[in-house]
Structure 1
Amino acid sequence: MAGIIIKCLSKFYGGKDSGMAALRGLDLEIKDNQFVTLLGPSGCGKTTTLRLIAGYVTPDAGTIRVDNTVVSSPEGVAPPDRRGMGMVFQNYAVWPHKTVFENVVFGLKLRKVPAVEARRKVLDTLALVNLGGLENRLPNELSGGQQQRVALARSLVVEPGILLLDEPLSNLDAKLREKMRVELKQLQRRTGITFVYVTHDQAEALALSDQIAVMHGGELQQYGTPDEVYRRPANKIVADFMGIVNFLPGEVRAGAGEAPVVIIDGMEFDGFARLGDSVKAGQAVDIAVRPENLRLARARSEEHRLSARVTERTYLGNLSEYWVELPTGTVLRAQTHPLEQFGVGDEVFLAIDAAECSVFPHVAEPARAAA
């Protein structure tokens, strides 16, 4: 198996002087036998990173090492077929006129593997991805999920040390996508192959990954476990991208290293476990609060101190989601058990689980030009 070490990796389109950086100064270590996801919105650099790892693109700066061997640098790039990697594409890229067996055996034929051994490997791999007995079918006789498994089998049969996956589930419906998430994670554990996965879907990344690299604007924002990037975001960009979040305006009355007190809507709140080093006493801040960390009640109490009015309710089966408006006009989203019911127009009082919140320096939005 194999690990990947990326140092100071950059890629510019249109030349370095154009300022169009698809990727800038990326440092990333992907350890052997891990499921690592490159996560971010369109244009963040995640697909460029994957293509650089695959050897399809030459970097303008930096290096990529696989097991301490440099495979990419501005001076040269090892060809994709000599990297010990497999690639699964978003559109499956299976040949419609070839059977499942013929699609999967193709890589072994290129490597001149003897026919008997190749057949054994193909059948074993099809069983691994739950396609046993379907080797004689054509792709148009398969479901979308089965076609995706054919693409997986074709990459796995050549026994790569690293498998690269470029949004492979995006063309599947919601139920099938959820099922394939479980299968992919189980497959990675069974094979011990290093998976590098690209997606813009936060739920997908949280469900699948050992480590998540959150990217934005061609730069790495945070690299950590799913729990770390969701509950302890490194900055406001990560907090905003990783699921639903409210940003409450406030002011810090004690800085980093002290027992922090934050003023929200004229009231003091303590218990905030995470103030960044850049947050100082007297500074305006934005408090990142997940909807599940807001609790609603009909009566004011020592915990439920922020008054608000319910403006909207959405029933989602396993939970109810409420939009509530503070007297200042700030609108928040809160999630409750479906048996906790409030009506539109009801006055409610909010409690904040401060220990699960993150506090960031407030940055004013840039002024917009008049239309």
Structure 2
Amino acid sequence: MITNQAIEELVAKECERYELERSGFIADRQAAIRELVAQTGILPESCSLIEFAEWKERLLNDWYTRRRFAGFFHRKSEKRCMFRMVKRLLQNAVFRLRKKQTELTLDDELKMEEGRTVAFKLSSAFFEGFYKKTCCNGTLFVSPGHLETVCIDELSLLFPLKYPLLYARLTAKDNEFWEEIWRLIRRFVRFLVVDMGGKEDTEMIQEVSMETVLSVQEQMERGKLEQITSARHLLNSLQMTGRNKFREWLRTESRKREEILLSEEDWGKVEQAKEDRREVDTCGANRRFDYLLDIDEKDEYEVCCALVDVLSYGSGKVYGELVEGREKLARAMLLLYVENKPYEEVVRILYNTSDTSKLVNLRKSVSRGKEYLKKRMADLIKLYKRKGEVPFATE
């Protein structure tokens, strides 16, 4: 015999599992209990678990049919409460699938950290597409249990994910999958850094990892990784790109240490020279850059001193000709090499953000732009010599 308490527990579990009250399907739980009690048939006490499960399924299906759950879900399928309920059910299902998995997956091929996964990742973007395809296609589900069964059956065909689906998520720029790729790359880059120097340089690891991720994303956008057909080959490609970016970073840092822009002693000389050049001629025009006519444009040291001087002056004809079209670069170099601000602070000043990708891009543009401005300064010096004069600058 089925007791009222058993029916109350049954309704409570249905409400909790399928959010029946929150979605509005049930407005009065006690009324729902009375409906089911009135509908309940006699069940022998000696029935087996299988018989009981079949009886419960029939009871609930009849109840959901009478209350027209199929039409209710069809109307409400795009509501947030239904979306959230199905997502929770499927996350639990994916968790169970992962625990049962015994064969090798993408996670093994990619050598994922313990606890991390791409093979069983149900990202928000991935689930949204799955939900629309499975639950919003006009199918009528007679009960929440029927809905859950159909979704889990479809999900079981997808998980664990195979490489083509992983590649599709990456090309779709699914941030949750890219987060796992970032972790993979960062772990490998950290190994390279520690292996080289014996200690962990967090800034170097962060920058090289971001450079690597940006490069891989660019390769994918251009279709350069389409020939990769397995997660193992993808891992090899990620590691190769990471090594290349690490070597580039080392070369860039080495060049930066060798550059002449400028030692403290040299900067003191530039400051003194600027004071000496503040004499104004009888016409009232400032001739402070006339010294450019005496500079050897082939002498990198002298060109760099002149470049720093013009950048720090920050206005006038000479400055305008030097930085034309590169004003933001000139501002960045002024902050870096004249005001001696770190890259992180320069990013905050110029872009009002601390985004790592902006930091990486700034380093790139300064590295390339520095050479451009030095060459531009040398070309201007040659031009002024040919003309025999330097444009006036107004204080």
The alignment's TM-score, normalised by the length of structure 2, stands at 0.20
Higher relative contact order (CA 8 A, sep 6+): 1
- Which protein has the larger Cα radius of gyration, Structure 1 or Structure 2? 2
Between Structure 1 and Structure 2, the one with more strand by share is: 1
Between Structure 1 and Structure 2, the one with more helix by share is: 2
The alignment's TM-score, normalised by the length of structure 1, stands at 0.21
